[in-house]
Structure 1
């Protein structure tokens, strides 16, 4: 009978070949009776180290427009009908966004994520965001700009790319099976469609998860596998921040061990992809945050959309103390080999060869 460490060795070997775990392997990572959590972390770190070394990429969020969203996502303090005592304001100016971005860049951030609440951007919003990207890039041309504006319609991804955006974030958040339990104003399919539109429009797709909302192990695995089908370049993993005034206030299901197991699952599912340690890490991982760096190769620096994060100086000290280094602006995040996976179509329509369907 194959022992525990042999099973993990086999899983590591598969990941180094960029092969996905089976469903049973993925579920086993989440179950304490199958694997000890420290064995799981050690195994997943071998994958992380192979593709990303000991580098940690720093990212920062800028909330361009806070609150008053028409969507009813139950985890969000900006939702329709929210009773959360959060900051509420309309669009900040491009100059203010650029100044905030500049502080983060000087602190080591390689990516600035521009976020605005709402169902999706209108034409005026696209122009505003374009001006903001221009203001940021004018001062920091090397910084990556990721945009998160909700559901995209035809042509909007292309316009954002032309304005200088590098990536577009739109998380799947949970499994298709239970998506209606957390939101009624749009669907799981709507979210998948937006991620695909972003990629088709030339933006680097960024899509991830929120855990701690009452999901089962099967839900987490379903979500991870659905994300893998979208082939994102970056996968943020959020841990529910149960804000007062939302339907999920008081939902405290996560333990540090559970968070580590979830991160390990995502590392095995996305061996050569940027896995980002995101919202809620401080309150759920607590003293085990340094261990999470053995799994994720990217982290948000500073505050989140409506809640405060750990001070940036503490994050940088934590990274150094754990034996990692902040990734420099000139360093490549994704491994070069990942770009070799793109194959130009030479069969099917327009050729004499049959399609591969």
Structure 2
């Protein structure tokens, strides 16, 4: 009978394997290959994800910034966030707004309130309006429940002349078609992880396949799509590497990662807090693997104070800009920096300037979208088997 190695021996073996990976592939060699835009192997991506010192992260981030500059010069895009309903029919174990959390006060904004918040963001200079909600039963359980939201997208496009991202959860294909006809440009629907076992622990009783297929269907309809990861929830480096390759192969137009923040009155409430190191590393590795994609620096995890580090890792979109007067919440940090007005265009512009970056013009963002839509007309490949 084969003996199971002790925990100490397992840890020692893992450390030895990491050292071998660094020696065989060499961080400098991997970075040189990435800057030449030669596709990285799974093992090379694992080598990058094994970086664990600030100095090594600095090297990876520098290479990421060089690739960002190659494709986007010093331009950054700005996204306004309109979280118009915090009601949800799902019971995701990581989420503050899970249906079982009865301690959190919910809200549901009406048509006029949503339009007012969106106008305010558009006037402030955002390039895109991200219209987000939980899977609110009010919309899902009525025969024509989404009609008002479809009309909302139509009005937003007419009034603001801004691209619109819809983030309403897993809506029926027919509704996706209606949103597209109304003028929606983007569809965001994150898996959070592509490890199917972990997915079921996070998104309880939700179909992994249905969620993934809906994104790929949206891509075929002509949407630009965003895929996202949650880090710090028990995933391995191998899980992350497989996710990054899948996101590349499915031709996701925008890819993001956010650090998990434990939420009160959820099954993950006692989960240990995470540092931002892994998120910064993943942002940089995303840029090395997918140099031409949009990669957000979210204000939702660390607020304004965390923006510079995310930009330094290669991000080129600032997301979760929220009008302080709209009475709307964030996701990971529901109130962070909102009331103080720190999640506004006015407050992020000095950070861009300090990092030798600048906000793109609306025309530049529209041109990027048009070019990407033209390129994305070919069918998505569907990614890699994970789990």
Scaled by the length of structure 1, what TM-score is found? 0.85
Query: Residue 292 of structure 1 aligns with which residue?
Result: 310
Give structure 2 stretches of 5+ with no counterpart: 1-23, 323-328, 380-387
> Aligned residue pairs: how many?
335
Q: Give yes or no for the alignment of 1:243 onto 2:263.
A: yes
State the 1:227 CA deviation: 1.9
- Of 60, 76, 82 in structure 2, the residue corresponding to residue 56 of structure 1 is 76
- Classify the secondary structure of the residue corresponding to 1:208: strand
- Report deviation, 1:187: 2.4
Deviations 1:99-149 (A, max 9, x none): 1112212222111111121178545332111221233223212x1111111
Q: Matches of residues 51-200 of structure 1 in structure 2 within 5 Å?
A: 51-67=71-87, 69-85=88-104, 87-90=105-108, 92-118=109-135, 122=140, 123-141=143-161, 143-177=162-196, 178-200=198-220
CA contact (8 A) 1:274 1:334 kept: no
Change (3 A) 1:298 1:77: same
> Judging changes above 3 Å, is the alpha-carbon distance between structure 1 residues 251 and 84 closer, same or farther for their aligned structure 2 residues?
farther
Structure 1 or 2: more helix by fraction: 2
Corresponding residue SS for 1:158: helix
1:307 aligns with 2:331: no
Distance 1:252 1:59, change over 3 A: farther
Q: Deviations over 1:298-351 (max 9, x none)?
A: 011235247134412332221222211012111136488756755779xxxxxx
The CA distance in 2 between the partners of 1:98 and 1:250, in whole Å, is 38
- Could you tell me how far apart the structure 1 residues matched to 2:86 and 2:163 are? 22
RMSD: 2.6
Q: C-alpha displacement at 1:80, in angstroms?
A: 2.3
Q: CA–CA distance in 1 between the matches of 2:219 and 2:193?
A: 20
Secondary structure (helix, strand or coil) at the match of 1:281 reads coil
Deviation for aligned residue 1:24: 1.2
**CA distance in 2 between partners of 1:337 and 1:99 (Å):** 30
Q: 1:335 to 1:146 in 2, by over 3 A?
A: closer
Q: Provide structure 1 residue ranges, at least 5 long, that are not aligned to the other structure.
A: 346-357
Deviation of the 1:81 alpha carbon: 0.6
Q: Classify 1:309/1:138 alpha carbon distance in 2 versus 1 (closer, same or farther; 3 Å).
A: farther
Question: Residue 11 of structure 1 aligns with which residue?
Answer: 34
Q: 1:267 aligns with which of 281, 287, 310?
A: 287
Q: Normalising by the residue count of structure 2, what TM-score does the alignment of the two structures yield? A: 0.79
CA contact (8 A) 1:158 1:202 kept: no
User: How far, CA to CA, are the matches of 2:210 and 2:121 in structure 1?
Assistant: 32
